[in-house]
Chains A and B, each alone.
Chain A
Amino acid sequence: MSEILALSNVSVHFPVKGGLPFFRRGVIQAVSDVSLTVNQGETFGIVGESGCGKTTLANAMIGMVKPTAGQVFFKGVDLNGLATDEFKKMRRQMQMIFQDPYSSLNPRFNVYQIVSEPMFIRGEDSEEEMKARVVELLQLVGLSADDLYRHPSDFSGGQRQRLGIARAISLNPSFLVCDEPVSALDVSIHAQILNLLVELQEQLNLTYVFISHNLADVKKMCDRMAVMYLGKIMESGGSDKIFKKPLHPYTQALLAAVLDTSFDERREQIVLQGDIPSPINPPAGCRFWQRCPQAMQGCKTVPPDLVEVEEDHFVACHLVNGFPDVPLPEGFEDPVPKQDSQV
């Protein structure tokens, strides 16, 4: 399978505003040193808690934020090396579906204006062509031509998200980033929108990057996935492999935290202590050690590398890979006492 998108060692840092002059300002390391590839025609899932850098990574993928370091290759072309007008042409092939369908649609535009805006900006179509295309798009996402002159306020959350999808596919993109497309919607509407996404993928031959914090959705949607924590990838690879045999303690905890509606078998609950630490001063070693139930002394100082443990299955954890060949503190394999690891 050919790859459509490749990130190599991408980091995105944001300076923290304020502070006194001559003092070093803080830097938020939203994404640090992430490498991954997305293949043509697949759905690639990115999972993690809020604040772990999922959305920043997605923005970096389509060039909405410039990486501080590293390169983004789309169809083999480095996005940051492009001149502005070439980048704009490239950007037509990559679109985004946003999380909140209430704030991502202009309330003063009607449906026609919302969906045709990408075509209007491209400026290659006549009014009639755009209208015909909008009607076609509306039917594709399950709305009708009667809705053409209604405003977003006339629609329910699920219908608004359909509008957002119609707008995203209006320029026939090949690559779509879905940033938590259903988390603002009701549970009963989730299925409708996700089914629509799956159908569109088959019809239009799309590649998705699917960002979510719901692991059950990811399991159904995605072929390959990455688990992120505090700006770093903890585990990545084929989603069937990760769900069958999660190796990283964080992935295991995430899986255990998914609540179930079945009463037959109660799965073992691993309730993680504490919150996700601030990305301004991330822990020096493994970023997860403070919350990790199996942390060792060495995890505090030695950052783990992302190592391939089997085909298409990468894990960054000393428990799985063992410690690398670097000077290690004494007693590095001793467990970290419980109260020490509480944040």
Chain B
Amino acid sequence: MKQVLKLRNLKVVFPTSYGLIRAVESVDLDIGDRECVALVGESGCGKTVTSQAVMRLLETPPAVIRVDSIEFDGQEIKDCSSKEMQEIRGKDMAMIFQDAMTSLNPVMTVGNQIDEMYMRHQGDSKKEAREKTVRALELIGLPEPRARANSFPHQLSGGMRQRVLLAMAFACMPKLIIADEPTTALDVTIQAQVLKTLRGMQQGCGTSLLLVTHDLSVVASIADTVYVMYSGKIVEKAPVKELFTAPYHPYTVGLMAAVPRLDDEKRKFTQIPGTVPHPARKPSGCYFHPRCEYAREICRKEMPPLQSLGGTRKVRCHYPLTAGGESHE
């Protein structure tokens, strides 16, 4: 399969007065053509920093980025200047942010904001750009697109604003879209609408999607491949169906059990004990061992490598679980 993004050995470090914060540690990421890859983890696990490092949206300083290679669409972009990156961002690689209210300009009509994309990247005149904008808004399923293009962000509802961001991201038919928690701020019924639109657009336009989220139920409904991140490291990688039917890492199992389900009759909520370690005070050995019920001596001392386990699956655990939830010896 053709690779759209090939990320090798990404490290992001923030030096602070409390000590070094290693936000991302040696992350490898592969996104195929027309593939939807999800990056899942709790807050503070480094998933947003990873996506921003790929987009080069991190301020350096304070961030220090070290990476072996970022290959985007067959082209090495690790050493691109910020000017070259500006050409790529928006045109070939676009981003959808979590909070539509703060990522749209409140004093510009949404139409003008989308027009800018076409004028900047495709050299269109104002008039041509507006025609394309209206078509893009129509495609995304916004009712009365021509009138809506003249409204300001505050005149739209949360779901409509998120749709405007979708239209903006898909404007120049990019090769890769990074969606950072695109539905977290929305209601359940609107979330279902937006996810359906996002999936439809992604398949219709042939775009690859990197979905950053903490919600496994969103992952289950649209992703193809899943990377689970914990405390700056990838702990498991698997095709979505295999991950949900047979998770290998105890953390993945815990995350999945923590999602409450409608068909569950138990009164008690299943919980992962403890909290994510502070990024400046990570434990020795496997980062997950203080919260892991299967932890043994070796887990406290040695960080397990990310080993391949059949097919495309990878797991970072000394004792990966089998399908029955039993520990491998």
In the complex, what residues of B have CB within 8 A of residue A258's CB? Answer: 188, 217, 262
The distance from the CB of A194 to the nearest CB of chain B, in whole angstroms, is 5
Tell me which residues from 254 to 278 in chain A have a Cβ below 8 Å from any Cβ of chain B. 254-263, 269, 271-276
Among B192, B196, B254, B272, the most chain A Cβ lie within 10 Å of the Cβ of: B192
Chain A residue at smallest Cβ distance from B160: A275
| Given A191-B269, A191-B270, A192-B271, residue A260 in contact with residue B261 (CB < 8 A) | yes
A275 to B218 CA separation, bound complex (whole angstroms): 20
Q: How far is the CA of A186 from the CA of B187 in the complex (A)?
A: 16
Q: Please, what's the 1-or-0 string for B241-273, where 1 marks a CB less than 8 Å from any CB in chain A?
A: 100110000000011101111111011111110
> Does A343 reach chain B (CB closer than 8 Å)?
yes
Interface bin, chain B: 35 or more
Q: Does A326 contact B (CB under 8 A)?
A: no
Bound-state Cα–Cα, A187 to B261, Å: 12
Q: Is there a chain B Cβ closer than 8 Å to A243's Cβ?
A: yes
Chain B residues 257 to 305 lying within 8 A of chain A, measured CB to CB, are: 258-264, 266-272, 275-276
Q: Are B188 and A187 in contact (CB under 8 A)?
A: no
A156 at interface, CB cutoff 8 A = yes
Are A262's CB and B188's CB within 8 A? no
CB contact under 8 A between A275 and B262, given known A187-B216, A190-B269: no
CA distance A271 to B200 in the complex (A): 14
Known: A188-B42, A188-B272, A275-B159. A220 touches B260 (CB 8 A): yes
Task: Give B175-194 interface residues, CB cut-off 8 Å to A.
Answer: 187-193
Please give, as numbers and ranges, the residues of chain B lying within 8 Å of A263 by CB-CB distance. Answer: 220, 241, 244-245
Inter-chain contact B260/A271, CB cutoff 8 Å: no
Question: Given known contacts A188-B272, A198-B267, A216-B259, what 7 new A-B pairs fall within 8 Å (CB)?
Answer: A191-B260, A215-B262, A216-B264, A217-B260, A259-B192, A263-B220, A263-B241
Contact surface of B with A, Cβ cutoff 8 Å: 42-43, 143, 157-160, 187-193, 195-196, 214-218, 220-221, 241, 244-245, 254-256, 258-264, 266-272, 275-276
**Interface set of A (CB-CB < 8 Å, partner B):** 49-50, 156-159, 186-192, 194-195, 198, 213-217, 219-220, 243, 253-263, 269, 271-276, 342-343
| A-B contact list, 25 entries, CB within 8 Å | A49-B189, A49-B190, A156-B276, A187-B216, A187-B259, A188-B254, A191-B270, A195-B269, A198-B268, A213-B188, A217-B260, A220-B264, A243-B262, A258-B188, A259-B191, A259-B195, A260-B261, A261-B256, A261-B259, A261-B261, A262-B261, A272-B193, A273-B193, A274-B143, A275-B158
